[in-house]
C-alpha cells in the first residue's frame, strides 16, 4: 500500500510502498478515507519530540473497516470508524479510574518480538502514535477506533479524530467550563478554533480569541468568539485583563509555547484556571509567579481533551449533523496523499486552519 514515510529527522515525508500485516485477534484493518494534517506531526518531523524512524506519520483519521481479528467485538467489516491515538487498554489504573486518555498502553501494542504491523523491504516501519494515518490502510488495536453513524461524511469525521476532540474535550472534560463563564483562547489554529466552539457549545459568556494574525481572530468569530485580541498589536495579557476587569475564568493555551502558557496563567482571574493544550517542546520550562497561587489560580495540562473518545466522538458527530459543531469551516484545503509535504508547508505559514488528505474520494 501507499504511505507517507518519515525517514530522517528533521525531514520531509516520502510516498513509498509499505507492507501491512493481517489483523491479530484484537486488531482492525481499516481502509483509510481521510486524514487531517495536525500540527503534532510537524513537531515530530522537526525533532521537537523524539520518534524512531522510519515511521508512517498521521494520527487524525476516519475510514471503513475492511477486516477484523477473531476477538474484536466493537466493529465489523463495513463499519465507519474514527480512529484515536488515545487507544486504551481498559484495565490499567488510569482506564479503570475514568481517565483512559492517560492509559499506559502496555497491552495494546504488538510485542517487540512479534511481526511488525508495518514493514518495508523486510524491515519494520514504526507506527506513529499507534495509528499511522497517512497510508491507504491502517492496522490498529480495536480500542483505537469508535464506530460512527454511516451518514457522517468521513473527511469531516477525520477531524474529530484529534483536533476537534482535543479542543472540545479541553473545554468539556479538562476545564469543565460552566455556562456564563468567561473564556480566553490563545492561538486560533485548528485546536484553538475547536476550543472556541467548545466554549460556545458549553454556553460560555464572553469568549475572547487571541492570535498574532488578525484574520485568524476574525475566523474565530465564526466559531463563536465574542471578542478578539490581536497579540501583535499590543500586550495580549493587559488587553484581556482590561476587557474583563481582572481576568477570565478559563484561559486556554492552544499553541504549545512556554511564553503563551505563562500568558494564559496571567489572563486567569482569582480562582481561575489556565489549561495548556499545546505541546510545549521537551526541555522548556513554564514558570508562573508563585504569589498568584495564593489566589487559588490553577495551571493544568490537557491530553487529547481528557477524552473518553468512545463516548465523546459519536456525540461530536451528532453535534455536527444537527448544526452546532462547525467542521466544514475548519477545512481550508483538501489534498491527495501525494501533497502531504505541501500541506505541512502551508501549515508553517500559519494561515491554514486545517488541510485534509483525502485518500479515497469515492468514499467521502
Ligand atoms: Zn493531532
Ligand atoms: Zn489502560
pLDDT in tens, 212-265: 999 999 999 999 999 999 999 999 999 999 999 999 999 999 999 999 999 999
| 175: DSSP letter | I
pTM of the model: 0.95
Catalytic residue list contains 162 = yes
Catalytic residue list contains 40 = yes
User: Is residue 350's pLDDT more than 80?
Assistant: no
Q: For each of the domains in the chain, give its residue range(s) and CATH number, in order of start.
A: 2-147+331-363 (3.90.180.10), 167-303 (3.40.50.720)
User: Is residue 353's pLDDT more than 70?
Assistant: no
Catalytic residue list contains 84 = no
Q: Which grid coordinates belong to 205? A: 459568556
The span from the CA of 102 to the CA of 88, in Å, is 8
Per-residue pLDDT tens digits for 104-140: 998 999 998 999 999 999 999 999 999 999 999 999 9
The DSSP H or E segment spanning 67 is strand 61-68
109 CA distance to ligand 2 middle (Å): 12
Grouping H, G, I as helix, E, B as strand and the rest as coil, residue 112 is: coil
Catalytic residue list contains 59 = yes
The span from the CA of 74 to the CA of 101, in Å, is 18
Peptide bond into 10 cis (omega under 30): yes
Please tell me the predicted confidence (pLDDT) of residue 351.
64
The span from the CA of 129 to the CA of 56, in Å, is 10
What's the chain's average pLDDT? 96
User: Is residue 297's pLDDT more than 80?
Assistant: yes
Q: Which grid coordinates belong to 74? A: 466493537
Neighbouring CB atoms inside 10 A of 39's CB total 21
46 CA distance to ligand 2 middle (Å): 29
244 CA distance to ligand 2 middle (Å): 41
Instruction: Considering the candidates 31, 38, 61, 195, report the single residue annotated as catalytic.
Output: 38
Catalytic residue list contains 31 = no
Please tell me the predicted confidence (pLDDT) of residue 48.
85
Collect all residues with Cβ–Cβ distance below 8 Å to 96 and sequence separation of at least 6: none
Q: How confident is the model at residue 352 (pLDDT cuts 50, 70, 90)?
A: low
Q: Which grid coordinates belong to 131? A: 495509528
Q: How confident is the model at residue 332 (pLDDT cuts 50, 70, 90)?
A: confident
Please tell me the predicted confidence (pLDDT) of residue 221.
97
User: Is residue 27's pLDDT more than 80?
Assistant: yes
Specify the residue for cell string 498589536: 233
The DSSP result for 251-288, as a single string, is EEE-S--HHHHHHHHHHEEEEEEEEE-S-PPTT-----
242-263: string of b/e by CB count within 10 Å (b at 16+)?
Answer: ebbeebbbbbbbbbbbbebbbb
Ligand nearest to C-alpha 43: 1
Amino acid at each position: 500500500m501507499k504511505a507517507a514515510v518519515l525517514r530522517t529527522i528533521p525531514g520531509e515525508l516520502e510516498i513509498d510502498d509499505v507492507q501491512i500485516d493481517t489483523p491479530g485477534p484484537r486488531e482492525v484493518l481499516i481502509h483509510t478515507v481521510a486524514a487531517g494534517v495536525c500540527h503534532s506531526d510537524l513537531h515530530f518531523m522537526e525533532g521537537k519530540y523524539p520518534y524512531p524512524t522510519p515511521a508512517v506519520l498521521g494520527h487524525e483519521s476516519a475510514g471503513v473497516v475492511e477486516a477484523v481479528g477473531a476477538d474484536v467485538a466493537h466493529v465489523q467489516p463495513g463499519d465507519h470508524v474514527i480512529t484515536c491515538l488515545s487507544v486504551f487498554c481498559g484495565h490499567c489504573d488510569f482506564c479503570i479510574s475514568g481517565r483512559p486518555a492517560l492509559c499506559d498502553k502496555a497491552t495494546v501494542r504488538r510485542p517487540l518480538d512479534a511481526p511488525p504491523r508495518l514493514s518495508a523491504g523486510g524491515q519494520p516501519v514504526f507506527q506513529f502514535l499507534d495509528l499511522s494515518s497517512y497510508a491507504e490502510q491502517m492496522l490498529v488495536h480495536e480500542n483505537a477506533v469508535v464506530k460512527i453513524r454511516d451518514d457522517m461524511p468521513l473527511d469531516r469525521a477525520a477531524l474529530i479524530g484529534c483536533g476537534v476532540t482535543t479542543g472540545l474535550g479541553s473545554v468539556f472534560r479538562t476545564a469543565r467550563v460552566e455556562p456564563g463563564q468567561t473564556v480566553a483562547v490563545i492561538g486560533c489554529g485548528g485546536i484553538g478554533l475547536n476550543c472556541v466552539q467548545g466554549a460556545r457549545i458549553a454556553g460560555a459568556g464572553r469568549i475572547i480569541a487571541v492570535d498574532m494574525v488578525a484574520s485568524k481572530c476574525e475566523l474565530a468569530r465564526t466559531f463563536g468568539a465574542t471578542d478578539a485580541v490581536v497579540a501583535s498589536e499590543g500586550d495580549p495579557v493587559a488587553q484581556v485583563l482590561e476587557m474583563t476587569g481582572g481576568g477570565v475564568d478559563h484561559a486556554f493555551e492552544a499553541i504549545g509555547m512556554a511564553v503563551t502558557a505563562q500568558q494564559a496563567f496571567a489572563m486567569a482571574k482569582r480562582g481561575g484556571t489556565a489549561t495548556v493544550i499545546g505541546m510545549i517542546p521537551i526541555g522548556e520550562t513554564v514558570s508562573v509567579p508563585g504569589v498568584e497561587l495564593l489566589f487559588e489560580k490553577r495551571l493544568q495540562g490537557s491530553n487529547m481533551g481528557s477524552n473518553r473518545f468512545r463516548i465523546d466522538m459519536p456525540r461530536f458527530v451528532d453535534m455536527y449533523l444537527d448544526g452546532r459543531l462547525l467542521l466544514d469551516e475548519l477545512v481550508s484545503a483538501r489534498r491527495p496523499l501525494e501533497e502531504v509535504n505541501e500541506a505541512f508547508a502551508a501549515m508553517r505559514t500559519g494561515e491554514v486552519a486545517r488541510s485534509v488528505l483525502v485518500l479515497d474520494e469515492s468514499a467521502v
